[in-house]
Amino acid sequence: MRTILMILFVNMIFYACTGGDGLSDAYGNFEATEITISSEATGKLIVFNIEEGQTIKQGDVIGVIDTTQLFLKKEQIEASKRAISTKFSSVIAQINVLKEQKQNAEKDQKRIEAMFNNKAATQKQLDDINGNISVINKQINQIETQNPAIINELKSLDAQIAQIEDMLKKSVLVNPIDGTVLNKYAETFEMAVAGKPLYKIADISNMFLKAYVSGDQLGKIKIGQQVKILIDKDKKELQSMTGTISWISSQSEFTPKIIQTKDERVNMVYAIKVKVKNNGQLKIGMPGEVKFN
């Protein structure tokens, strides 16, 4: 008789701890922050070293787009610049000398400003260096004003070179985040086009269980709260994990058809996200359950 009472007592405790019905408080599916990486340049992919399922690091060079035409264009523009500079070398030399003087004066300016703030330099010393920089700027402007056509042409060539260098930089494909390659949309020797997706990546070391709760459950949860996550271990058993509520929607929505709720009569629900450390078992789209207590 005592054994029977003990069993009934344990069952009552279990019944109370599981909320009386043994159901979880919310249900949903796991997701990750997915990023689609597109090409920023156009050309043939001469190197593209990634595969689906591969884990890559932020900053890894994973591909190169053919830069032959860009390199030749840059050489052509630099040759034009050298030709113009040779014709007007004296003008360029004067400007370069003044720019070097300005750089040295700006260094002295920073040093004197620091000394002035520490009361180790006078106002006159600060005014003198500021005036010296102002005079140099006027001298540079005067020379540029006297030779506007030359200066503008050189500036235009410099801008073209900078543009090509930027395109050359973008032709080297650098992975932006740590993550796992989910999808690969191009292969080596195919044409890459600016704006065309190359691959999709996600950091799956931390997953998010997106679930839905009813309005009367909102008072039981808050951002940063630790909750229990349940996933399928096999056909009969569930495995428990720990998660943290990272987001709660401020707007209600109709219950998605594929989502269960604790109360099937609830029509309006609120979406939540629970951040879970992935030990390798969690996959995108996998179902999961949440228990708040």
Q: Nearest 5°: phi and psi at 230?
A: -120, 130
Q: Fold identical between 21-33+204-291 and 38-66+172-196?
A: no
Per CATH, is 21-33+204-291 categorized as 2.60.120.260? no
Its pTM stands at 0.64
- Sign of the Cα pseudo-torsion (161, 162, 167, 170, in order): positive
- Residue 12 confidence (pLDDT): 37
Domain 38-66+172-196 -> CATH class: mainly beta
- Residue 6 confidence (pLDDT): 39
- Residue 257 confidence (pLDDT): 55
**HSE value, Cβ hemisphere, 13 Å, CA-based, for 159:** 6
3-state SS, one letter per residue, for the chain: CHHHHHHHHHHHHHHHHCCCCCCCCEEEEEECCEEEEECCCCEEEEEECCCCCCEECCCCEEEEECCHHHHHHHHHHHHHHHHHHHHCHHHHHHHHHHHHHHHHHHHHHHHHHHHHHCCCCCHHHHHHHHHHHHHHHHHHHHHHHHCHHHHHHHHHHHHHHHHHHHHHHHCEEECCCCEEEEEECCCCCCEECCCCEEEEEECCCEEEEEEEEEHHHHHHCCCCCEEEEEEECCCCCEEEEEEEEEEECCCCEECCCCCCECCCCCCEEEEEEEEEECCCCCCCCCEEEEECC
d(CA 181, CA 53): 5
Largest Cα–Cα distance in the chain? Answer: 112
List the pLDDT tens digit at each of the 293 positions of the chain.
444 333 333 343 333 344 445 678 899 999 999 999 999 999 999 999 999 999 999 999 999 999 999 999 999 999 998 888 777 777 777 888 898 999 999 999 999 998 888 888 889 888 998 999 999 999 888 877 767 777 788 889 999 999 999 999 999 999 999 999 999 999 999 999 999 999 999 999 999 999 999 888 888 899 999 999 999 887 778 899 999 999 999 888 876 655 555 555 456 889 999 999 998 899 999 999 999 97
* Domain ranges for the chain: 21-33+204-291, 38-66+172-196, 68-170
d(CA 69, CA 80): 17
Under 8 Å between Cβ of 185 and 173: no
- Residue 4 confidence (pLDDT): 39
